[in-house]
Amino acid sequence: MDLTNINKDRKNRRKGSLDLSTMVYGKVPPQAKDLEEAVLGAIMLEKSAFDTVIEILKAECFYVDANQRIFKAMQSLSQKSQPIDILTVVEELRKKEELEMVGGPYYVTKLTNTVVSSANIDTHARIILQKFIQRELIRISGEVISDAYEDSTDVFDLLDNAESKLFEITNNHLRKDYNSIDSVLVKAVQRIEDLRNQTEDISGVPSGFPSLDKVTYGWQKTDLIILAARPAVGKTAFALNLARNAALSPIRPTAVAVFSLEMSAGQLVQRILSAESEIWLEKISRGKLEEYEMKQLYAKGIQRLSEAKIFIDDTAALNVFELRAKCRRLKNKHDLGLIIIDYLQLMSGGGGNTNREQEISQISRSLKQLAKELEVPIIALSQLSRAVETRKEGNKMPQLSDLRESGAIEQDADMVMFIYRPEYYDVNANEHGESVKGETHVRIAKHRNGSLETIKLRAQLHIQKFVDEGVEGEGPGGGAPAWKPITPGGGPADNGGYRQIGSRMNDVSFDDDETPF
């Protein structure tokens, strides 16, 4: 006996008998029949009325079935560039064999008698939309209630399904109206004036690295920034540096949200503490600290970081609906200024896509939409395919085509940055014979609003820190460019004195067209 099919049948029967959209407490579903007739009549009276209505309403927004069919006939006429009036609508309905279903020519003619002009058609259409959204909320709530009574329904699937349907209403029916250029010009001129009057050159969220900020002018609002590299190159360490630098910036301290799908919050905090206090990550992880190191940890690390507005979420398999809800709350409560996601390929779309490429495309589009909605930059970490490994020696710098699983990532991003370290490929000296230990190239391969540059940083991965090449001194982005690490035991350093533990993705073997999930 197939229990799965039995449960499905029982659920379908329950849904059929429990239609809460029509019988909750005996109430009639929200509707505006008179306004529906007025809108349809106005469309047939005035030529431009349909263009106004089509930006607000879809056929399913009409409560009366006859009105839905008439509006679809009007859409069909518009697509064929034919005029919309009583005669053309009646003829279109006759071709579709739906004229009698709507009440014949009499009903279509009657619609024009209910309205004099289309003067208030915009307001009428929005009221119809409001009633439709109310009906949809009732319908979705009814389905959620019905599913919640089923013991066989997974609660997380129920939550995900409810969020997905609610987001679909928002995404499909609550669209922002266009702006006239004069209103946008006022905002643009005001921003230019503000930038002229400010003393620093950074207009966005500071990265903490002067050479990088010189190209980007900080992370800009609404931008989606992709930070990509091969496993164990230092993506997470660099991203945490960006979070720490933004939150502790002396120019513009910013609230930062870090969503880690791979590492726990405790592990991330240890890395941030290591970078801020400049104490070995390995010693912090093992708790093998001398007394003076504990004092240094409190003075340079804990004391400063306790003031930073960094919010860490280590929910595994986070989907875009949960991410959106959490970011909205943080934006409202803490004026969130930067979002970092580690990393994109571990997210789930929550839309039921079986094709991984389509799911990644949906995720990248959703991240860009979220950046625009909240007006904050989003930095999403991404894996690179193994194509970079197969290229010839000396040509290991990542390219846009190396982004894993979807071209939509490249398409949706405002900026794509690659991290490349020569020593990752056992290149220990440059063409002049000089050591490249710790040398890190941050290549900006796509930049919608600026130039394409390659910035040189120096990685000190034993303390999970990156410093600007040639920039000395303490503080974000600063540090001694030439460093001589000491091993945790106090002895001489081997292989640069540090050990980098790679991502768990190193332990997974899969082809470029396959996914580990």
Q: Which residues carry out catalysis?
A: 262
DSSP code at position 175: P
Neighbours of 194 (CB within 10 A): 10
Decide: helix, strand or coil at residue 222. coil
Both tokens assigned to 451? 């130039």
Between CA 65 and CA 57 the distance in angstroms is 15
CB 257 within 8 A of CB 339: yes
Write a three-state SS string for 414-465: CEEEEEECHHHHCCCECCCCCECCCEEEEEEEEECCCCCCEEEEEEECCCCE
Q: Which candidate, 105, 74, 112, places its Cα nearest to that of 92?
A: 74
- With b for 16 or more beta-carbon neighbours within 10 A and e for fewer, the 344-374 pattern comes to bbbbbbbbeeeebeebbbbbbbbbbbbbeeb
- 126 HSE (CA, 13 A, CB side): 8
Nearest one of 224, 227, 512 to 382, comparing CA atoms: 227
Q: Roughly how many angstroms between the first and final C-alpha of the chain, as a whole number?
A: 31
Run of H or E including 140: helix 121-148
State how far the Cα of 178 lies from the Cα of 55, in Å rounded to an integer.
Answer: 11
Strand, helix or coil at 310? Answer: strand
Q: How far is CA 35 from the centre of its chain?
A: 38
| List of residues 6+ apart from 477 with CB closer than 8 A | 207, 208, 209, 210, 245, 466, 467, 468, 471
Q: Which residues contact 81 (CB under 8 A, 6 or more apart)?
A: none
DSSP run (H or E) holding 130: helix 121-148
